[in-house]
Amino acid sequence: MFNLDNTILKKAKSNYEDISVPEDIDDYIQKGIMRGKKSKKKSFKMKFISSAACFFLAIFIISIRVSPAFASFVKNIPGISYIIELINYDKGLKSAVRNNFIQPINVSDEHDGLIFTVDNLIVDESRMIIFYSIENKTTHKFVNIANVKLQDKSGNDLDGYCSSRHDFIDKDMTLSENKKLHNIIDITFENENNIPEELNLQLKMMETNKTSEKHLAEGGTEKNRYKLLPYKWNTSFSIDKNKFKNLKEEYNIDKTICINNQNITFKKSTIYPTRISVDISFDPNNTSKILVFNDLKLVDEKGNEWTEASGMSGKTIDTNHITRYFESNFFEKPESLYITCSSIQALDKSNLDIVVNLEKYKLIKAPDDKLALNKIVKNKEYIELHFNLKKPSSFDKNKMFSVFNSDFKDSDNNYYHLSNIAMRGNIRDLNNQNIIIKIPKKQYKNPLTFTVHDYPTIIYDDFKVKIK
């Protein structure tokens, strides 16, 4: 089942990010989504990902001129220009469209003057991109999808993860002005061998009559910004599994590198039409936790590059195993392919905990003296913890660090989930960054323990590992 938090959390690539500009000209706020909450249940999780998509008409025109077959094919796809616009951020998906790897659907459901339509699909064994539209026949303004469920024809929920962009929500674009808006739902399948031919997509819609900025300026909160409409949109459709049957290439890498006495093993890679996965494991005896691979990308023998995928750029299997996703070069068929990286961020495992006593308003433990607790603010809905992070001069001054993992626990080992995280930097002092985390207002058993997800500690040691 897809689950949607009313609080919009954000990650672009390995750290999902959404930038907003404050009224104070001396400050800028960069709101982030942390990695999605790890769930014991294998269920779809919805998170919003804002991403400004640029539409280069020249790309579309060149594609048609180069491939007459493609030109003929797109005549049968309604609104092809919006498809090119929505996937312009991912060269692998654009390549899939150029190679006719798209399935027209055109199935709709209507409630209260809002028509939800599944227009087209790009799908393989690993991923499904659903291109949808929302058409307005009445007076609705700002809407977004919610409570999304993807099921088989028997009503069983499918296992996997999901992300959805919401470009039009905070732009000067309303359904009253544009009448029809387009977007995508990006789905990662947990079990690639269990994708049914018949699918049912159910969802609800949230609505607000105001932009986020106006709503918050009038004293509203993210929690009460939206109103859930009392209807359920239901669409059923078939997918052509033969279109992507056996369309994947698997490579056994089995290469271990050592960086600063930390062993990292690149195990295998699978190349799908929609993306490339690379499985990585860490030696359990490593003394440090590898937090981030900087500038991680794929490079072929000609120097062409494929970056980490937008949307879901990776997943954590367990403490010592992760998978990273990249743009696909399936249709380009490079002769050689390498994974490269310029540096890593790592932290000693003994310094991963951040411990705070809410009653005493005190930071008990931190990775080092770069992180400080400024204040704790308790309001009706949330408890806000305000931190200051001093960034070393070796880092890009514009780079922000989310620091906190999405889960935290109390002293009784009860686990909870962060409601929101925001990062703020003063343009007059970019070596310092403020981090504000919001947690639900509860009676916690103190102290609380948070885990580091991202931190300004870096090891410069580039590497290049051959995939094929």
Hey, what are 59's tokens?
A: 């790309």
User: Which fold does the domain 352-459 belong to in CATH?
Assistant: Immunoglobulin-like (2.60.40)
Helix axes 91-98, 57-66, angle to 10 degrees: 40
Relative to beta strand 404-409, strand 227-228 is: unpaired
Hey, what are 125's tokens?
A: 């064994």
CA distances from 29 to 16, 32, 285 (A): 14, 10, 39
> Other C-beta atoms within 10 Å of 212: how many?
16
249-347 and 41-53+102-243 share a CATH fold:
yes
**Does residue 172 carry a pLDDT above 50?**
no
Tell which wins on pLDDT, 401 or 393. Answer: 401
Among the listed residues 453, 459, 361, 447, the one whose alpha carbon sits nearest the alpha carbon of residue 407? 453
Tell me the pLDDT tens digit for each residue of 272-316. 999 999 999 999 999 999 999 989 999 999 999 999 987 778 888
User: Which fold does the domain 41-53+102-243 belong to in CATH?
Assistant: Immunoglobulin-like (2.60.40)
What is the distance between the terminal CA atoms of the chain, rounded to a whole angstrom? 37
Contact 298, 291 (CB under 8 A): no
Contact 342, 462 (CB under 8 A): yes
Tell me the pLDDT tens digit for each residue of 424-454. 876 677 788 999 999 999 999 999 999 999 9
- Mean of the per-residue pLDDT values of the chain: 80
Q: What is the pLDDT of residue 58?
A: 29
Question: How much of the chain, in percent, has pLDDT values that exceed 90?
Answer: 54
Q: Return the amino acid letter for 11.
A: K
Tell me the pLDDT tens digit for each residue of 77-91. 555 677 878 888 899
Task: State the Cα–Cα distance between residues 383 and 393, nearest whole angstrom.
Answer: 32
Class of CATH domain 249-347: mainly beta
Contact 363, 385 (CB under 8 A): no
Taking the domains of the chain in order of start, what are their residue ranges?
41-53+102-243, 249-347, 352-459
